[in-house]
Amino acid sequence: MHQLLKKTFKTGALLGAMTLMGAAQATSAFEGRLANGTASSTCTVSGANKCAMFYNATLDLTILNDWNIGTGTAAAGSAQALAETAGAKQTSFTGWFLPTGDGNLPAGSGNQFKAIWDAAGGNFSSLSAQFDGVQSNYYWSGTEYAPGSLYVWYFGTYNGFQGYDVKFSGLYALAVRPGDVTAAVPEPQTYAMLLAGLGLMGLVARRRSSKQQ
């Protein structure tokens, strides 16, 4: 009986340690972040436990979860102002801007919109399941159409189409910012599991010491 109890304690301690390792190593295309920058694996797209933003490690880009911050023009920074204001209001961070979206470039730093679209699943249903308030419409990018300064690239979320339009058109805005807003920190429940594992290990050590005495 004593051996069985000791084995159970060891197993519990091992599971606690493995849980912590799993939480630290678990990755996904988009990692949840709370408004204050805390990394969260349990926040959701919408609802009471809503993520304020998501981080994509491949792009090294943080994306505001709210995709319905309003419409504006690309002229005089109207859409850009929406991104800056919404990002600063909904999180503890500044430095938000419109994502890049050069339709002549592959997904990547020069075409962040395409990279986000691909990472989310490449269709409207998967995009709207990943982010809150996604509109089946056109979104301004922050990239001018090179042949003419009056035009700016846009992204169509309903099918991934990329084109360009005159800056004075009113399209939706999206806010992103470079880098991650936080280092990955285990959540409270992860700490609790670790402490439980350490407690079990301590109990086993004390029982062993008592038996030897």
- 176 in Cβ contact with 63 (< 8 Å): yes
What integer pLDDT is reported at residue 123 of this predicted model? 97
pTM of the model: 0.74
List per-block mean pLDDT (blocks of 10 residues) for the chain, which spans 213 residues: 43 42 53 96 96 97 98 94 98 97 97 98 97 98 91 98 97 98 58 62 62 57
Select from 108, 110, 103, 93 the least CA-distant residue to 138: 103
What integer pLDDT is reported at residue 204 of this predicted model? 59
- Domain annotation for the chain: domains and CATH numbers: 58-179 (3.10.100)
Measure the CA–CA gap between 107 and 113, rounded to whole angstroms.
7
